[in-house]
């Protein structure tokens, strides 16, 4: 979540934002070069990357942004929303740091088993979730060592 991006913005690959506004309706001349900067959703010039842009580029972006139509649903996140988002993201990282060694161990075991018997299809195991102590399933495919799994209480759910 960026303090300079509308809370409803969900990426350029979508046709509508989370407030139901069609991006084409609020982007001036969407087919023309520079239209990415003509969305009202993002306030350009605040990201760390903008320091690396030349003054000419910055001036170009600013000129394009001034052409962006007004959007009635535009709303920047509040300081509280940004803090909550950051807390959730860091909690997510902490959870995954606990899971990663367990997945790695399961993969190492499948690798060992496959070294002794090429017909081993992989491994399915149920272990204790490192976050909630509930049941966590881990599957590792023998042919490519990709894993998937989930915690019964929702701490994790992944598929690679
Ligand atoms: Zn759990």
Mean pLDDT for back-to-back runs of 10 residues, the chain (160 residues): 92 90 83 83 80 83 85 93 87 91 96 91 94 96 94 92
- For the chain, domain boundaries: 1-77, 90-159
Q: Which of helix, strand or coil describes residue 7?
A: coil
| pLDDT for residue 8 | 96
| pLDDT for residue 100 | 94
The count of other CB atoms within 10 Å of the CB of residue 127 is 13
Q: How far is the CA of 157 from the centre of ligand 1 (A)?
A: 10
Rounded Cα distance, 108 and 85, in Å: 34
| pLDDT for residue 123 | 92
Rounded Cα distance, 42 and 74, in Å: 9
Q: How far is the CA of 151 from the centre of ligand 1 (A)?
A: 5
The count of other CB atoms within 10 Å of the CB of residue 9 is 20
37 pairs with which residues across the strands?
none
Q: How far, in whole angstroms, is CA 9 from its chain's centroid?
A: 13
Q: How far is the CA of 154 from the centre of ligand 1 (A)?
A: 6
pTM for this prediction: 0.59
């Amino acid at each position: 979540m960026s303090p300079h991006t509308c809370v409803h913005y969900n990426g350029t690959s979508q046709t509508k934002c989370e407030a139901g506004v069609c991006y084409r309706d609020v982007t001036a001349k969407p087919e023309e070069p520079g239209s990415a900067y003509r969305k009202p959703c993002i306030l350009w010039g605040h990201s760390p990357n903008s320091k690396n842009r030349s003054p000419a580029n910055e001036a170009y972006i600013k000129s394009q942004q001034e052409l962006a139509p007004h959007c009635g649903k535009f709303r920047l996140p509040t300081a509280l929303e940004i803090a909550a988002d950051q807390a959730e993201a860091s909690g997510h990282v902490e959870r995954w740091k606990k899971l990663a060694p367990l997945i790695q161990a399961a993969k190492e075991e499948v690798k060992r088993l496959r070294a002794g018997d090429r017909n081993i299809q992989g491994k399915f195991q149920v272990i204790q979730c490192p976050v909630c102590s509930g049941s966590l399933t881990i599957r590792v495919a023998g042919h490519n060592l990709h894993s998937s799994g989930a915690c019964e209480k929702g701490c994790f759910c992944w598929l690679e």
